Every structure is written in C-alpha cells, then in structure tokens.
Homo-oligomer: A and B are copies of this chain.
Amino acid sequence: MSARTKVKRAPARGVYDREAIDAILDEALIAHLGFVDGGQPYVIPTLQVRIGDMVYIHGSAASRAIRGLTSGIPACLTVTLLDGLVLARSAFHHSINYRSVVVLGSCRPVEGPAQREAALHAFTERMVPGRWDEVRPPSAKELKGTRVLSMRLDECSAKVRTGPPVDDDEDYALPVWAGVVPLATIAGEPLADPKLADGIEPSPAVTGWSPTPG
C-alpha cells in the first residue's frame, strides 16, 4: 500500500494483504490496463497472469500500446470480479458486490526466449490448466514476435464489497424484498472448431474447465 493506493472512499472496503490481493488476481482472466499517450488516458482489456510478485501481460510486438508500455511509462493494471447485485430497499443504496485490485507502476519487457516461453506457459495454463502439454509449444519465431511485459506487485491494493445491502434505519420497515443476487461466470459446452478432424474429443482439462483455478 502507498498513499496512492490507499482506499479513501469507503475505507472499510480496503484490503492490503498480499494473500487476498493474489487470490483476486488469480481468479481474474483479464485486466484493464491504463496508460497515457499525449495526455490522453487509454484503458485496454488484456489477459493477465500472476507469478509470484509479478503480473504478466502480453501482446504483439507491433502493438502501439505494447510499444509504449515497453518504454516504462506509468501504468495502472486493474482487475475486477463481479460477485452480485446488491438490492436495497431504497434506490440510493443499491450497489454491487465485487472484488477489485489496482496495481500502480510500470511495465518491463521480459527478455529472452526462455523467459518469454515461461510466461506463455503461465498464460496457457491460466486459461486451461493442463492445456500446455496438449498443444504445440511456441516456435522460436513466435517467441520473437511476442512481447511479454511484467509489472511488480509493489504498489497495489484491493477493494472488496461483500454481504447484504445496508439500508437507512427507517427503511428496514418497508415491505420491499432486499438482498443479493449472486453473479457467477460459467463455462458452456465446448464448441469444436468446424475444421476439427473427426474423432478428436476434448480432454478433461477442457470439459472440466472452471472459472476458479486450483
């Protein structure tokens, strides 16, 4: 935590311990990455994966955003998990249950094909644990065309809202249903590539996919 990542609004929702922050990062498939170009902020969605004290993102070496970030400009990586609709007895106290993490810092390029391959391994395994061993590994040319960037988890914080709505005292007497509608991400039936050869079935890693890893 720093002065910049201290949760100022609703400070009771601020969470600073790394275990809680890591758990949120590990459950989120994508992050929204912010950077500045010519005074204009840009926010782009990107796959992310955490290994230890680092969060990794990747993209094409030809991407303008990736090129800018590679130079080490200030960045902000935010992930958000939506957990539920919080339905209060008053319109004003409606809210969302969520878990979010904000990481401030800058990106550094991951150099070396072995290091980049390790990151691609982590991305693939994050998407579908066990998938790496099923597929063709990256070629030297593919590793060369990929930019992998890392951000250190030095300056980060989480913000979490859980539980039922909080209504004004006098509103609890209203004859209005109040509570939480939980939200979750689910995987549907795998859809085979129309070009898939006959007789190839998805592995248990694919059919058993769950949004919560581990």
Contact = CB atoms under 8 A, between A and B. Distances in A.
A135 B60 CA distance: 49
A71 to B, nearest CB: 14
A45 B185 CA distance: 18
Contacts of A40: 4, 74, 76, 104
A192 to B, nearest CB: 4
Contacts of A174: 135-136
B202 A179 contact: yes
A186 B187 contact: no
A209 B92 contact: no
Contact of A43 (B78, B173, B177): B78
Given A42-B34, A47-B96, A78-B32, A89 B179 contact: no
A211 to B, nearest CB: 8
A12 interface: no
Interface string A126-149: 011001101111110010001000
B91 A137 contact: yes
Contact of A183 (B64, B187, B196, B202): B187
Interface in A15-34: 29-30, 32-34
Contacts of A171: 136
A214 interface: no
A203 B89 CA distance: 13
Contacts of A131: 87, 91, 94
8 contacts: A9-B63, A42-B104, A43-B102, A44-B78, A94-B135, A134-B176, A173-B197, A183-B185
